[in-house]
Amino acid sequence: MKLFVLLAALFVGGQAVSFFELVQEQWGSFKVTHKKQYGSELEERFRMKIFMENAHKVAKHNKLYALGLVSYKLDTNKYADMLSHEIIQTLNGFNKTKQSGLRGTEEYDGFSFIPPANVKLPEEVDWRQHGAVTPVKDQGHCGSCWSFSATGALEGQHYRKTGKLVSLSEQNLVDCSTKFGNNGCNGGLMDNAFRYIKANKGIDTEEAYPYDGKDEKCHYNPSESGATDKDFLTNVRRQKRSAVSLYRKYSCTLWSCLNETCPLRLSGIYSSLDCKCSSTELDHGVLAVGYGTDENGQDYWLIKNSWGPNWGDEGYIKIARNRNNMCGVATQASYPLV
């Protein structure tokens, strides 16, 4: 018995277009938009297959969104031709086991956050609206998320102190903080970055020490320092709303549940109702820049990522708040003191 593959005929602009032609058109548009080039025809076929699987995932998910069964919407982005494990290997980099920094002979883990008493917190905060957040950055194929989380937190604290928003150098941290337990593009920890900056008495500006997305020789220049810190606070988890509202922004972590959707754009609130995610198995550093409640009464954290403005909602994501520390967004939260 012979099997036949039937290509469905679609009508676009009044003309019949086969499913294959539609796929080729979508794929061609994706390659042009994101300037994609591949080393061989075999690789391109492989990448096209991944892209189409992600496109199918988007269509299937958005049907559920239209029915009100999930809390966020998806679309494709520049990572739509990559597998989730490739994303994990190239875009993450948080390593909670690499802790360093000693005070005397005792391990030093920063100071604990104690929120002020009798302070009424605002119902919502978005520090982008106050000029305290630099544009979304892109770490590229380097596991340096921890450095972007650290610079973002210090940028906010420096703004709070001086009134000036200065973009700080992630490459400085990638290249120079290895003695404090970080490992450049192979991962690191935000607290170790804060320790380095304190000991180094500064971190260069982004302009003076631009990001290259690869491990290089340290060439920190103290005359180009844009900010410094005196220490850092940990244990923000139970009082994270106080920390975000009073102290601008803080470094935090996420579980790789987001890697299931990281090849895609998403809008809405990412909720544990839609995805099972751990609050302890963490592998990605991000930045909390606000919080609020949407029109449906669902609380959220506003998170800045470092995968470029084409990911998420222009580089940001809203994570469900008051949902048992969903995806570990507050498990290892901290911010620098200036």
Residue in the block written with tokens 């994101």: 34
Residue 257 among the catalytic residues: no
| Of 209, 233, 267, 259, nearest in space to 94 by CA | 259
Catalytic residue at 145? yes
- Sequence letter at residue 312: G
Q: Which position among 54, 284, 310, 327 bears the catalytic label? A: 284
Is-catalytic flag, 34?
Answer: no
> Do residues 335 and 233 make contact, with C-beta atoms less than 8 angstroms apart?
yes
Distance CA 11, CA 58 (A): 21
Nearest Cα residue to 61 out of 275, 272, 257: 275
CA 227 to chain centre: 22
Q: Which of 61, 95, 142, 145 is catalytic?
A: 145
Query: Which listed residue (305, 310, 325, 327) is catalytic?
Result: 305
Q: What is the 3-state secondary structure (H, E, C) of the chain?
A: CCCCCCCCEEEECCEEEEHHHHHHHHHHHHHHHCCCCCCCHHHHHHHHHHHHHHHHHHHHHHHHHHCCCCCEEEEECCCCCCCHHHHHHHHCCECCCCCCCEECCEECCCEECCCCCCCCCCCCEEHHHHCCCCCCCECCCCECHHHHHHHHHHHHHHHHHHCCCCCECHHHHHHHCHHHCCCCCECECHHHHHHHHHHHCCEEECCCCCCCCCCCCCCCCHHHEEECCCEEEECCHHHHHHHHHHHCCEEEEEEHHHHHCCCEEEEEEECCCCCCCCCCCEEEEEEEEEEEECCCCCEEEEEECCECCCCCECCEEEEECCCCCHHHCCCCCEEEEC
Q: Which of 218, 229, 132 is nearest to 190 (CA)?
A: 229
Would you please indicate which residues are annotated as catalytic (active-site) residues? 145, 284, 305
